[in-house]
Structure 1
């Protein structure tokens, strides 16, 4: 497999809580061509921050270090003009809330066609291509829908518009940030099938951000489990979800019985997620961990290979699978 994207030792520091804090700490993962890598974790785990670092969409004042390799180019060193070129043309982005992301005073046709116009395509060619994209993502009656405004569409249709926008530039990679969170179960299933079809038929790689393990179980090839801005576990999706090697992953899976029937740790996930600005000493998960020991309270666990192709940042990874 060829990696399209490699994130290596990514760190992001933000001002907050009376000072500056490292909210993303030594995060590494990759996305292979025509495959889907999932970023999993609770709210505040660093999933979105990590994914938005790739395309330069971080809050003002954010400080980054590490390496984000895209076609042998470190995007962390790329100027703003280059990042604008990457966004859309090479890497498409599907945002979590399409109603907030879409411009309420522009028709969907104009918004989907924006990247095409910037590329120099003629007006009639743009309209033809937009109609093709709307049809491709399953929007009925594209000729009627192309001139409507976002508020005139359902949540599921707006999300399909966002997918059409992400596809418009012909990207090799799509970053999808919680693309089904605000949708009902039936619409979620349709959007997930659409994303899976795009990967298979168009050969587009995907970085899928979600807190929903059911989504990952159905869509992802590989997963990266994040907690408090760090990688807790990484590996092939089915192996990680069926046989976790980190107590945090196990607790997440226990809360979703349909994902895995093997529950080596039967206790549900308790307590609140750690604050990346004020992580506990040692393993950030230890205050919530049912197998935590003194070492966990004082020593930060490093991400190590627990078995071939499987990585865990737990001092006692071998016990989690027992």
Structure 2
């Protein structure tokens, strides 16, 4: 049975004062085994909601459509028992804020060992496994840190504890939602190296959600670019960053110093990002796009292939790519 996760036309609607708001609108991509996929976009693009839909942690009142195909099941339609089995054991999540995600009243050992105790392991075996997990997550002297509480760890150490907790169920897929956002640059680099090492050594698939193109460029094999709840572009990371076929992707690349060259100059994106609640007609990016034409204002572009394994939602993709 394949460990590839496939999103097919994923839709997520959230209740709002004026009615339902479509925050994820027809998103399709896959995460192959032993592959890291970067999911990138500005705030409000729908990337975190997409990850939450995969793990089944949507807000109350949310409704979904499309399909999430995993090991022969559509996760949007399985019963609660199957969902609970998937969450933590087959698919695990590393949250953006470990201080909020970890229970402040329980020790690190108790939280990391919870899923192991559910498997019926005795106390000594749980302790041994927790020490091993903390060690794999890069926590020094793990046996001495078992009875520490989250507030006794630094930000980087808490994130490592979150990684250990995610690995406890021996998952095949990791979802990492902005795992380095609250950390300083040096600690960010260490956490990213750790995630890459774990992914490669254990053959895991990983979805890395980030707003930072530099993070995705250094870690991900493939990249999915989202804008206003929709996929703008997807493909191999090197291809998408070197030859973007969507003006939004190109603007993201140009806004990051030294992503393709040694220059320190950057060109910030003009305008305000569209969100699902204020998504314009046609191409959602057209109010900020310097190449927008009448067709862009009225007709939503379909996601289409522009090269092998390279897809984009732009009417004039070939023209964009030729300008690089």
Give TM-score scaled by structure 1 length: 0.96
Per-residue deviation at 1:80? 2.0
> How many residue pairs were aligned?
319
Name 1:291's counterpart in structure 2: 291
Instruction: Tell me the equivalent position of 1:59.
Output: 59
Find the residue that maps to 1:283 and give its secondary structure.
coil
Give CA-to-partner distance per residue, 1:108-161, whole Å, 9 cap, x none: 000000111112111111111000000111101111111000000000000000
User: Which residue of 1 is the match for residue 192 of structure 2?
Assistant: 192
Matched with 2:39 is 39
1:158-177: CA deviations, max 9, x gaps? 00000000000100010000
- The gaps in structure 2 that reach 5 residues or longer are none
Gapped regions of structure 1 (runs ≥ 5): none
Cα shift at 1:275: 2.0
Give the Cα–Cα distance (whole angstroms) in 1 for the partners of residues 302 and 316 of structure 2: 11
Deviation track 1:37-80 (CA, whole Å, cap 9, x = no partner) reads 11000011010111111121001111101110000100000122
Q: 1:224, 1:234 within 8 Å by CA — same for their partners in 2?
A: yes
4+ aligned runs moved over 3 Å, structure 1: none
Q: How far did residue 262 of structure 1 move?
A: 11
CA distance in 2, matches of 1:89, 1:285: 38
Corresponding residue number in structure 1 for 2:104: 104
**Aligned mates of 1:47, 1:262 — CA distance in 2:** 29
Deviation string 1:234-260 (CA, Å, 9 cap, x unpaired) is 000111111111011111111112212
The residue number in structure 1 matching 2:4 is 4
1:274 equivalent in structure 2: 274
**Pairwise CA distance, 1:23:** 1.2
Structure 1 residue 279: Cα displacement: 0.9
Corresponding residue for 2:260? 260
Give the CA RMSD over aligned residues. Answer: 1.4
CA contact (8 A) 2:48 2:209 kept: yes
The equivalent residue for 2:208 is 208
- In the other structure, the counterpart of 1:173 is 173
Kept in 2: contact 1:107–1:148 (CA 8 A): yes
Does the residue aligned with 2:20 lie in a helix, a strand or coil? strand
Counting only pairs closer than 5 Å after superposition, residues 90-239 of structure 1 correspond to structure 2 as: 90-239=90-239
Distance in 2 between the 1:208 and 1:61 partners?
26
- Aligned equivalents of 2:24 and 2:128: distance in 1? 42
1:248-281 deviations in Å (ceiling 9; x for gaps): 1111111112212399xx9631111112022101
CA contact (8 A) 1:282 1:298 kept: yes
Q: Is the 8 A contact 1:41 1:227 kept in 2?
A: yes
- Between the aligned partners of 2:144 and 2:118, the Cα distance in structure 1 is 24
State the partner residue of 1:68.
68
* Contact residue 109 and residue 146 of structure 2 kept, 8 A: yes
Quickly say closer, same or farther: Cα 1:274–1:17, change in 2 above 3 A. farther
Q: Does 1:14 align with 2:14?
A: yes
Is the 8 Å Cα contact of residues 16 and 277 (structure 1) preserved in structure 2? no
CA distance in 1, matches of 2:124, 2:225: 45
Residue 306 of structure 1 corresponds to which residue in structure 2? 306
Displacement of 1:178 in angstroms is 0.4
Match of residue 245 from structure 2: 245
* 1:188 to 1:281, Cα distance in 2 relative to 1, 3 A: same
Partner of 1:16, secondary structure, is coil
CA distance in 1, matches of 2:22, 2:3: 27
**Pairwise CA distance, 1:17:** 4.2
